[in-house]
């Protein structure tokens, strides 16, 4: 979803609004408007504005030649015709090379067939509340009317859109509406735009931007989808049809948010690390997901999905786990919410992760070993899917990362997005700016990273950095750097990158951190990487261990080895003193003691 800020006329206010980087801005060339740009409006000022914001010239029943002369000076990206212009007017201006937005005032009896003659000439149709003065009334019209819109030309919604209305719209968006046009509701005195309101509206829409929400079939660009066995199709379809309804239900949100607060311990602190900042430069903040109940971010999603399963009237929960972190989070949520819980785990992992196995058992979960193949995570996943097929009606499968068939990646991202929601608020309180310059997270399947990135995706102020597990080195054959090495393929129900041989066999990944040891990657990260919206890097086992020990020594925080991968990117950055970095500390390192202790012996 994009935002157009319309009705700008004052040069200082224009400059200020544009620094918030709206998608489009509009200038009104209608002398009767209270927001008329006036006769001295300067084309040079407009030409110097950043290219990333598109400019729209707005006219009402204006003389064609006058529009052409204005357009010659200002070179607007779009011309918006807000009066009774005819299809011929649009055709004429389009033939002069202009891109056309045709506006219509909507009232109860709006007849969409009147648009047909405009179709060949218009790039967008804009719908505004019908008023005698051509818009600017601050009134909304009943948007539901647009559900009946029969054409493919994309839409701009206008009329009385402020923060509250934008939020309402985003909660139940209307197909074909691509741009929300905000004007009077974002103003303070003298029709100047209020920058806080502008920023707030942009923050709201950024989370829906940039393909961060998959399309109806679950694709982020070319990645994603839902490749499931026919037997499971009804379950997955049920989830696809229902998840947004439940997630948007205020009652569900209340219950979820209450548990995040009183049970998980949210909001987690955003800790300014003076010591890391002194060491690496910049201003380094740690988002303390390690302080969540059960020691990592995974509980956010486990509670969300188990609540959803109850709403779908499922009786049993199943899940797979590798290192045991997701298994523990799921067993915890099931104990709390009174659900029967079975966890599938590779036989090898059961031996390697004994304490987590016991934790799950203590909370009443049943552990089923996967004894086929390499007897690790991917075999446990296969086993869980088999169990689901055998019992599809009353069983809910909790997936622990931003992977799997649609809608799992989107659902997990939404449950974890509380991380970036909090970062925005906390960073704003601490520094006055809501968006950091850099945001770093480790990348296993991608749930902590997408949660930390969610509200910043598409925000040009923030460079998103995802750190994969390089293992012994990306070219060593013992690595989990999926995006660095991966080829496109299908794994666990979605199209994404995975590490595979030339004939498509999955290569057993390696990482010192069990939680990053996964041969695929969530489809949203494949997309963010392919589109350049996030930068993907990798660090080795050795670098991650060094970063873990360093944080323990510098700040008295022992991070999970997964999270240490994100920290291990800090030495590779050259930070300026003013630059703000947030590292998502996805979990705590107590579970990694056995791996870390031998490294103490190597220290001099």
Ligand X SMILES: *Cc1c(COP(=O)(O)O)cnc(C)c1O
Tell me whether the omega of the peptide bond preceding residue 267 falls within 30 degrees of 0, making it cis: yes
SS3 state at 589: coil
Distance in Å, CB of 279 to ligand X, minimum: 23
Query: Of the listed pieces 75-83, 336-344, 443-451, 472-480, which binds ligand X according to CB under 6 A?
Result: 443-451
Asked if 183 is part of the footprint of ligand X (rule: CB under 6 A), the reply reads no
Which H or E run includes 203? Answer: helix 195-206
In the complex with ligand X, the residue whose CB is nearer, 300 or 342, is 300
Residue 445 touches ligand X, criterion: CB under 6 A: yes
**The one among 304, 444, 509, 523 contacting ligand X by CB under 6 A:** 444
Residues 486-525 that bind ligand X (CB under 6 A): 515-516
Does 325 sit near ligand X (CB under 6 A)?
A: yes
Indicate the residue whose CB is closest to ligand X.
Answer: 587
Q: Are 107 and 128 in contact (CB under 8 A)?
A: no
Residues facing residue 129 across a β-bridge:
106
Provide the minimum distance between the beta carbon of 477 and ligand X in the complex, in angstroms, as a whole number: 22
In the window 369-408, what residues touch ligand X (CB under 6 A)? 401
Among 562, 564, 569, 581, binds ligand X (CB under 6 A): 562
CB-nearer residue toward ligand X: 46 or 528: 528
Among 270, 331, 440, 560, the residue binding ligand X under the rule CB under 6 A is: 560
Dihedral, CA atoms, 271, 272, 277, 278, nearest 10 degrees?
-110
The answer to whether 298 is a known catalytic residue is yes
How far is the C-alpha of 260 from the C-alpha of 264, rounded, in Å?
A: 5
- CA dist 476 and 470 (Å) reads 9
Out of 214, 409, 446, 471, the only residue in the binding site for ligand X (CB under 6 A) is: 446
Report the C-alpha gap between 221 and 214 in whole angstroms: 8
Phi-psi region for residue 532, left (φ > 0), alpha (ψ -120 to 50) or beta? left
For residue 447, state whether it binds ligand X (rule: CB under 6 A).
yes
Interface residue with ligand X among 296, 370, 452, 567 (CB under 6 A) is 296
CA 52 – CA 18 distance, rounded (Å): 9
Nearer to ligand X, 135 or 451 (CB): 451
- DSSP string of 373-429, one letter each residue: TTSSHHHHHHHHHHHHHHSTTTEEE---SS-SSTTHHHHHHHHHTHHHHHHHHHHHH
Residue 419 engages ligand X in binding (rule: CB under 6 A): no
What percentage of the chain's residues is helix, strand, coil (to nearest 5)?
Answer: 45, 20, 35
Q: Residue 548 CB, nearest distance to ligand X (Å)?
A: 12
**What is the DSSP track for 548-563?**
HHHHHHHHS--B-HHH
**Peptide bond before 211: cis, by omega within 30 degrees of 0?**
no
- The residue among 197, 201, 181, 203 whose CA lies nearest residue 35 is 181
CB nearer to ligand X: pick between 158 and 447: 447
Is residue 158 a contact point for ligand X (CB under 6 A)? Answer: no
Do residues 100 and 93 lie in contact, with contact meaning Cβ atoms separated by under 8 Å?
A: yes
Minimum distance from residue 188 beta carbon to ligand X (Å): 42
Is residue 566 within 8 A of residue 583, CB to CB? The reply is: yes
Catalytic residue from among 137, 140, 513, 586: 586
* Centroid of chain to Cα 588: 24
Task: Tell the smallest beta-carbon distance from residue 326 to ligand X (Å).
Answer: 6
Q: Residue 440 interacts with ligand X (CB under 6 A)?
A: no
Which CB atom, from 334 or from 548, has the smaller least distance to ligand X?
A: 548
448 is a site residue for ligand X (CB under 6 A): yes
Q: In what order do the strands lie in the sheet with 494-498?
A: 219-220, 223-224, 494-498, 487-491
The one catalytic residue in 298, 314, 378, 591 is: 298
**586 is a contact residue toward ligand X (CB under 6 A):** yes
Catalytic hit among 320, 383, 468, 562:
320
In the list 563, 569, 582, 592, the residue contacting ligand X (rule: CB under 6 A) is 563
Under rule CB under 6 A, residue 422 binds ligand X: no
State in angstroms the smallest separation of the CB of 564 from ligand X. Answer: 9
How far is it, in rounded angstroms, from Cα 177 to Cα 565?
40
DSSP state of 270: E
Asked whether position 443 contacts ligand X by CB under 6 A, the answer is yes
| Per rule CB under 6 A, count of chain residues that contact ligand X | 19
Q: How far is the CB of 562 from ligand X (least distance, A)?
A: 3
Binding to ligand X by residue 205, rule CB under 6 A? no
459 touches ligand X (CB under 6 A): no
Segment near ligand X (CB under 6 A), from 204-212, 370-378, 437-445, 594-602? 437-445
Is 262 a catalytic site residue?
A: no
User: Catalytic residue at 586?
Assistant: yes
The CA distance from 331 to 366, in Å, is: 9
Cβ 261 to ligand X shortest distance, Å:
21
Smallest gap from Cβ 537 to ligand X, in A, equals 15
Minimum Å gap between C-beta 396 and ligand X is 19
Out of 327, 407, 436, 587, the only residue in the binding site for ligand X (CB under 6 A) is 587
Looking at the Cβ atoms of 211 and 327, the one nearer to ligand X is 327
Which structure tokens are listed for 311?
Answer: 């709403």
CA distance 402 to 399: 8
Residue with the two structure tokens 């007017």: 89
Helix (H) or strand (E) holding 69: helix 64-74
CA pair distance 523, 601, nearest whole angstrom: 40
**Residues at the site binding ligand X, with contacts judged by CB under 6 A:** 296, 298, 325, 401, 442-449, 515-516, 560, 562-563, 586-587
Residues annotated as catalytic (active site), given as ranges:
298, 320, 586
């Amino acid at each position: 979803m994009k935002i157009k800020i319309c009705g700008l006329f004052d040069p200082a206010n224009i400059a200020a609004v544009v620094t918030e980087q709206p998608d489009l801005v509009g200038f009104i060339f209608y002398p009767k408007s209270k927001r008329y740009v006036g006769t001295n409006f300067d084309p040079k000022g407009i030409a110097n504005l950043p290219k990333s914001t598109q400019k729209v010239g707005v006219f009402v029943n204006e003389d064609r030649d006058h529009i052409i002369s204005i357009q010659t000076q200002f070179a607007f990206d779009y011309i918006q015709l807000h009066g009774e212009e005819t299809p011929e007017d649009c055709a004429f201006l389009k033939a002069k090379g202009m891109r056309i937005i045709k506006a219509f005032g909507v009232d109860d009896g709006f007849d969409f067939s009147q648009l047909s003659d405009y179709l060949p000439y218009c790039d967008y149709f804009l719908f505004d509340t019908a008023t005698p003065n051509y818009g600017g009334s601050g009134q909304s019209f009943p948007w539901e009317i647009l559900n009946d819109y029969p054409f493919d030309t994309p839409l701009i919604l206008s009329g009385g859109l402020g923060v509250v209305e934008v939020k309402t719209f985003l909660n139940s968006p209307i197909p074909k509406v691509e741009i929300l046009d905000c004007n009077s509701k974002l103003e303070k005195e003298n029709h100047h735009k209020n920058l806080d309101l502008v920023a707030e509206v942009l923050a709201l829409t950024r989370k829906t931007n940039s393909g961060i929400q998959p399309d109806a079939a679950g694709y982020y660009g070319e990645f994603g989808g839902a490749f499931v066995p026919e037997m499971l199709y009804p379950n997955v379809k049920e989830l696809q049809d229902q998840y947004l309804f439940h997630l948007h239900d205020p009652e569900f949100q209340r219950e979820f948010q209450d548990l995040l607060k009183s049970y998980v311990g949210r909001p987690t602190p955003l800790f300014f690390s003076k010591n890391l900042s002194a060491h690496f430069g910049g201003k380094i903040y740690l988002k303390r997901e390690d302080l969540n109940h059960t020691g990592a971010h995974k509980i956010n999603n486990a509670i969300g999905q188990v609540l959803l399963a109850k709403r779908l009237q499922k009786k049993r929960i199943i899940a797979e786990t590798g290192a045991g972190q997701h298994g523990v989070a799921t067993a915890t949520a099931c104990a709390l919410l009174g659900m029967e819980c079975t966890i599938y785990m590779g036989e090898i992992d059961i031996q390697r992760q004994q304490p987590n196995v016991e934790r799950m058992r203590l909370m009443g979960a049943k552990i089923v070993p996967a004894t086929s193949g390499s007897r690790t995570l991917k075999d446990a996943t296969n086993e869980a899917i088999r169990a689901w097929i055998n019992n599809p009606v009353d069983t809910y499968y909790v997936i622990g990362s931003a992977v799997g068939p649609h809608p799992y990646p989107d659902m997990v991202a939404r449950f974890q997005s509380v991380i970036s929601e909090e970062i925005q608020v906390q960073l704003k309180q601490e520094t006055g700016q809501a968006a950091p310059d850099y945001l770093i997270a480790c990348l296993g399947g991608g749930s902590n990273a997408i949660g930390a990135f969610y509200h910043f995706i598409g925000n040009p102020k923030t460079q998103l950095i995802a750190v994969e597990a390089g293992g012994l080195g990306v070219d060593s054959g013992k690595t989990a750097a999926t995006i660095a090495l991966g080829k496109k393929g299908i794994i666990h129900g979605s199209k994404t990158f995975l590490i595979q041989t030339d004939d498509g066999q999955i290569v057993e990944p390696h990482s010192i951190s069990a939680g990053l040891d996964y041969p695929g990657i969530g489809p949203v990260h494949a997309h963010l990487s392919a589109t350049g919206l996030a930068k993907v890097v990798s660090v080795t086992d050795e670098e991650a261990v060094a970063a873990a020990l360093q944080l323990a020594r510098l700040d008295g925080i022992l991070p999970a080895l997964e999270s240490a991968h994100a920290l291990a990117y800090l030495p590779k950055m050259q930070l300026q003193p003013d630059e703000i970095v947030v590292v998502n500390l996805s979990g705590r390192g107590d579970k990694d003691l056995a791996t870390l202790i031998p490294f103490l012996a190597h220290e001099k």
